[in-house]
Amino acid sequence: MTAALDAASVVVPAIGGPAPDFELSNQFGEPVQLSALRGQNVVLVFYPFAFSGICTGELCEIRDNLAMFEDANATVLAISVDSKFSLRAYAAQEGYSFDLLADFWPHGGVASAYGVFDADSGMAKRGTFIIDAAGTVRYSVVNPRGQARDLQEYRAALAGLGQA
């Protein structure tokens, strides 16, 4: 299959459709399964790599505004193709109290299920999916390479969910 065909066949989960379930290890090696979080809203934040500039800025902004997510009964799950060992060091260095999930093996498997894996570069794109308490995708955005996401967009999307 060519890269062009692969790119054309990428499907991002539809707004109003079910969020693909998955289980990944967090930075401590603990399993985190999306379907186990039913009953609360979930914000999936796919990012290219730990310790990179834009990614660190985005995740620090989430860290510094975590109350906004908690007030919306939302759990933040940040996902990259890094190993759990890298993610543990990254979380410790930056003071992240939310889960960083390792989509390490199969490499980018969950990012692929969400249509945000860039096979040419071997990394996740900057995709965000907000999933309601019933497991339905209510918001999604995929930003171009090098462009940070807007925290205010999260705020607006979360406001539309209500409390679970």
Residue 55 a catalytic site member: yes
Question: Count of residues for the chain?
Answer: 164
Exposure of 28 in the CB half-sphere (CA atoms within 13 A): 8
Strands 41-46 and 74-80: parallel
Cα separation, 67 vs 70, in Å, equals 5
55, 76, 87, 131: the catalytic one is 55
**116 token code pair:** 């945000």
Cα separation, 117 vs 60, in Å, equals 23
Residue 44: Cβ within 10 Å count: 26
Active site residue ranges: 55
